[in-house]
Chains A and B, each alone.
Chain A
């Protein structure tokens, strides 16, 4: 396998490297957020500028056009009523009344000779009837810019109606300048803002990434500090910290198991080894040798049983058995176990009392619950004095509680906490056979079912309550 691994790794590793280079620029989330910010800022600024333009320069344009149209309408009515004479009179009248001096009229005959109005001559390029033009003009005393409309009248007369827009054009120029400067401002402010956003983002992630780095480096005690603002970043930090706590507990479990294996399996292995070595050196007869080998074999069987129990607990704690959960009725399950252990209890002079409702529905793993209750009954029978009572009872509902109570020596209050640890054996149990794994397995089964194992004083004896949520 070792020889086969490197090429496979190279083969699969190459594409991600290429991808990394390609999109390295976009791979910084901080930069992405900064660019997004700058884009949004720029787009809003552009929208604002367009609205300003429409609301100022555009409004003035529209007002001028409306004034020209109204003027033309009035002149057209006069022309209908009184012909050329009335029109000329009206033009002169209006020019006289024009305080702002921005109105422009020009009436010419067929040969473009001026008849009335304040323009000296017909401007070049004004060729089409009813068209709008914006062009420089010359009025007596000044050059200026005008917006005008041309009307062709009966009898070969031509009329120009318009407004001087020199002031308006100046204002438009000012506005354009201001907006151009605005663009520069937007660019500067957008970039600065983007940098600030990236900085904030980086700073918020820096603590998390520093903690993660410290943990990868082996310092498992580190946690992500909270800012105290209980914002999204704090919630993320809390989630990460919970995850780290869970990992820590799992690591403790592994450490506990390896310590336990080191201490508690070394002893029987040493014993088996010593027996075999002693036999090879000192056995006088084939019978001696045979006996030593058989004892060593029994030791090995014990070691295997401990191993099996440890792996079983690990399997349960890993939680993979939860997929095998099914709806089951505990009442017949308990009855079967009571029947199995009833005979043993009777043989030891114990009374087995039973009490549970007719139906005990629960969602769980049949085999594991059987084994857990069997372990509790094993213990109760093992530690009960002759003539004692072992009581197996259960109550339904949420959670379901299964209680096994005996009248044995019990477990001292100080030891109850530790009684479910792997390999823990109370003082009173030192000299009885057992691996010290029975209650650890029951505890694991309870936890798999979302419940707990409660150990209490039965006065005298031990009451073990297995809760299955």
Chain B
């Protein structure tokens, strides 16, 4: 994937660039808003990681608004030190697709950027999701694995749907909390782990090969091996 990083802090930018390249992406960097806007508007990127406070007269919000006014719908993830609730709302209203506050864990950033680009592609009217022998019918809201029907609670269904839509990608606990429950705070207890482990009981335990994998220091991944 081609990713543009607009970030003025040299150390943070270097850290992000290095990590993204190691994950196999092609990365470009802009150190201020003006360059960032120019590059974003003139080249095609699969995703943009955008700081909000930028030197050069154009801040992140202005950059994004300008980009969206030119009908450029490249997915944008805000990476900002502005952490108030209103800041996030404003960023998303301006056309941002996701909002991550500094300081951040690189695993979280990577997972979210990869989720963004996937979302851009698969937002068709899919009615069936398939991963290996796991099938989900979104119309009849039924799940089968290897032909056997699995009974799921509504929330478990949404959790599995989220994992399947992001199959092969790392999904962090915060992403699940936001995407499945629409909560924007960090619970102190391991609520997400408990829910994932319940889902595993139904989806993985009766079958020989597990689909839901734990990714250390990051989150979970639904993946079909082989």
Q: A382: CB under 8 A from chain B? A: yes
B83 adjacent to A434 (CB under 8 Å)? no
- Hey, which chain B residues are within 8 Å of A320, CB to CB? 86
* Main SS class of interface, A: helix
Bound together, the chains give a CA A434 to CA B189 distance in angstroms of 10
**Contact residues of B between 73 and 116, Cβ < 8 Å to A:** 83-86, 103, 105
A374 contacts which of B103, B187, B194, B195 (Cβ < 8 Å)?
B187
Contact code string B165-198 (vs A, CB < 8 Å = 1, else 0):
0000000000000000101111111110011001
A371 adjacent to B185 (CB under 8 Å)? yes
Bound together, the chains give a CA A378 to CA B191 distance in angstroms of 9
- Hey, which chain A residues are within 8 Å of B187, CB to CB? 340, 374, 378
A370 adjacent to B86 (CB under 8 Å)? no
A434 adjacent to B103 (CB under 8 Å)? no
Chain A interfacial residues counted at CB < 8 A: 28
- Hey, which chain B residues are within 8 Å of A308, CB to CB? 83, 186
A370 adjacent to B185 (CB under 8 Å)? yes
Bound together, the chains give a CA A134 to CA B16 distance in angstroms of 110
A343 contacts which of B84, B183, B194 (Cβ < 8 Å)?
B194
Q: B149: CB under 8 A from chain A? A: no
Bound together, the chains give a CA A307 to CA B83 distance in angstroms of 11
Among A321, A344, A378, the one with the most B-chain Cβ atoms within 10 Å of its Cβ is A344
Among B103, B105, B184, B189, the one with the most A-chain Cβ atoms within 10 Å of its Cβ is B189
Q: B155: CB under 8 A from chain A? A: yes
A315 contacts which of B84, B181, B185, B194 (Cβ < 8 Å)?
B84
B155 adjacent to A339 (CB under 8 Å)? yes
Bound together, the chains give a CA A138 to CA B188 distance in angstroms of 119
- Hey, which chain B residues are within 8 Å of A324, CB to CB? 85-86
- Hey, which chain A residues are within 8 Å of B190, CB to CB? 344
B186 contacts which of A305, A315, A341, A344 (Cβ < 8 Å)?
A305
A344 adjacent to B83 (CB under 8 Å)? no
* Main SS class of interface, B: loop
Q: A304-B103, A321-B85 are in contact. Are A382 and B189 (CB under 8 A)?
A: yes
Q: Which residue of B lies closest to A366 (CB)?
A: B182
Q: A367: CB under 8 A from chain B? A: yes
Bound together, the chains give a CA A343 to CA B192 distance in angstroms of 9
B85 adjacent to A315 (CB under 8 Å)? yes
Q: A347: CB under 8 A from chain B? A: yes
Q: Which residue of B lies closest to A300 (CB)?
A: B103
Bound together, the chains give a CA A374 to CA B182 distance in angstroms of 13
Bound together, the chains give a CA A185 to CA B191 distance in angstroms of 89
A370 adjacent to B188 (CB under 8 Å)? no
Q: A339-B155, A367-B85 are in contact. Are A381 and B198 (CB under 8 A)?
A: no
A433 adjacent to B83 (CB under 8 Å)? no
Q: Which residue of A lies closest to B155 (CB)?
A: A339
- Hey, which chain A residues are within 8 Å of B84, CB to CB? 311, 315
Q: Which residue of A lies closest to B105 (CB)?
A: A301
B185 adjacent to A367 (CB under 8 Å)? yes
- Hey, which chain B residues are within 8 Å of A339, CB to CB? 155
B185 adjacent to A378 (CB under 8 Å)? no
A344 adjacent to B184 (CB under 8 Å)? no
- Hey, which chain B residues are within 8 Å of A311, CB to CB? 83-84
**Contact residues of A between 128 and 155, Cβ < 8 Å to B:** none
- Give 24 A-B contacts (CB < 8 Å), ordered by A residue: A301-B105, A305-B186, A308-B83, A308-B186, A315-B84, A320-B86, A321-B85, A324-B85, A324-B86, A336-B181, A340-B181, A340-B183, A341-B189, A343-B191, A343-B198, A344-B189, A344-B190, A370-B185, A374-B183, A374-B185, A378-B188, A378-B189, A382-B188, A434-B188
- A-B pairs, 8 with minimum CB distance: A371-B185, A343-B194, A378-B188, A344-B194, A347-B194, A344-B191, A315-B84, A343-B195
Other than A343-B198, A371-B185, A382-B189, give 13 A-B pairs with Cβ distance below 8 A: A305-B186, A308-B83, A311-B84, A315-B84, A339-B155, A340-B183, A340-B187, A344-B189, A344-B190, A347-B194, A370-B185, A374-B183, A378-B189
